[in-house]
Amino acid sequence: MNTELQAVDPFELTETQKMIRDTVRDFARETLAPRAQELDRKGDFPMQNFRDMAAMGLTGIPVPEAYGGAGADTLSFILAMEEIAKACGSTALTLAAHTSLGTMPIVQFGSEEQKRKYVPPNASGEVIGSYGLTEPQAGSDSGATRTAATRVSGGWRVQGTKMFMTNASVAGLFVITAVTNKDAPKHERISAFILERSFPGISIAKKEDKLGCRASDTCIVNFDDVFVPESNLLGQEGHGFSYFMQILDGGRIGIGAMALGLAEGGFERCVEYSKTRSAFGRPIGAHQAIAFKIADMAVQIQAARHLLYHAARLKDAGRPYKREASMAKLYASEMAMRVLREAIQVLGGYGYMTEYHIERMYRDAKLCEIGEGTSEIQRIVISRDLLGKL
């Protein structure tokens, strides 16, 4: 019996999308899954996983071919993220941050010169990308950024601190926000910049120890009087906040796919266990208390998949997708926590143990309710889109 909740007709995947999904699925099962538990235990950055993904072309899936990427669509990237997350949440988060946050801002808003210089090394995986938005006093309120960029001869001097920068200690390229005009309206004060790791004044202040996604690299980064050439201003001055809000819309679909994959990974293990574990003379799946849990999990996973694929297709079609991305991310992330909590309950004591991997997936999934905008922020985005600012 097939326990993988892959629909056929409703999604009508192209042959290319199916090929990407199936190829990544095999790779994730054979290569990533056997490494996941040890990476989580040690908290080591999954460098070999990243290199293996780069060798397969996965580090540049949605990047145009002209800049060294695969030129695939958003849905293809989502399918890959889903399969990777089934095996290893840390690796999925590493890829999401590198692609959606560390590379796509340059693809979408960079000059032709910037794209030619910086995108191909990121797309090939030669360079790892990182993204700096959050600060000690600027989390959900990203407009409260205090990192400042002061204009000097030939460029800018950047001073400040960023928190929760994924991939930061191994990254060769940073895309960050900084205030360039403190007297401008709040959302016009901020600009975006591309920083190379070799620029003097960049230092890793702390690598965080986390609940989940423990192998993913999350750091506090200091920028101490970093000179940034004028040519490394990303897009137009004062447009940084707008750029990053657009980037987060797309990134939310990726984090939703990560949540979906984690939920599926736990679900598949839960179903298998329910068919082989016996209690009171029958497999536990034959008992209604367990069978109904399985049914509810399946419904929620499939609902999340529809929301995510729909949002990805809207983005690929060039249609508005902000609300749908927030809906998909909100539902998928909260769904993953519910499904994995129930999966642990089905396994009982075994679910609490590391041997069955579900407790790791449960810890990893919590990040999805926080990163790329908390669940509360998603509800603000959705409600404002429906009601306007009352």
User: pLDDT means per 10 residues in the chain (390 residues)?
Assistant: 49 92 98 98 97 98 98 98 98 98 98 98 98 92 93 98 98 98 93 98 97 98 98 98 96 98 98 96 97 98 98 97 98 98 97 97 98 96 92
372 is catalytic: yes
Sign of the torsion formed by the C-alpha atoms of 36, 41, 45 and 48:
negative
Residues 6+ apart with CB under 8 A from 384: none
Distance CA 155, CA 196 (A): 14
Going from N- to C-terminal start, the domains of the chain cover: 15-124, 129-239, 242-387
DSSP state letters, 349-386: GGGGSGGGSHHHHHHHHHGGGTTTS-HHHHHHHHHHHH
Helix (H) or strand (E) holding 261: helix 240-276
pLDDT of 8 reads: 42
Chosen CATH of 129-239 out of 1.10.600.10, 2.40.110.10, 1.10.10.60, 3.10.129.10 = 2.40.110.10
Q: List, in order, residues 6 or more apart from 59 with CB less than 8 Å away.
A: 50, 53, 95, 98, 99, 122, 123, 124, 125
* CA distances (Å), origin 106, targets 73, 99, 213: 17, 10, 26
Amino acid 117: pLDDT: 98
Model confidence pTM above 0.85: yes
- Between CA 78 and CA 76 the distance in angstroms is 5
Among the four given CATH numbers 1.10.540.10, 3.40.50.2300, 2.40.160.50, 3.90.1300.10, the one describing domain 15-124: 1.10.540.10
**Could you say which of 126, 359, 372, 376 is catalytic?**
372
Q: What is the pLDDT of residue 10?
A: 56
242-387: CATH class: mainly alpha
CA distance 217 to 91: 10
What six digits make up the tokens of 8? Answer: 């056929």
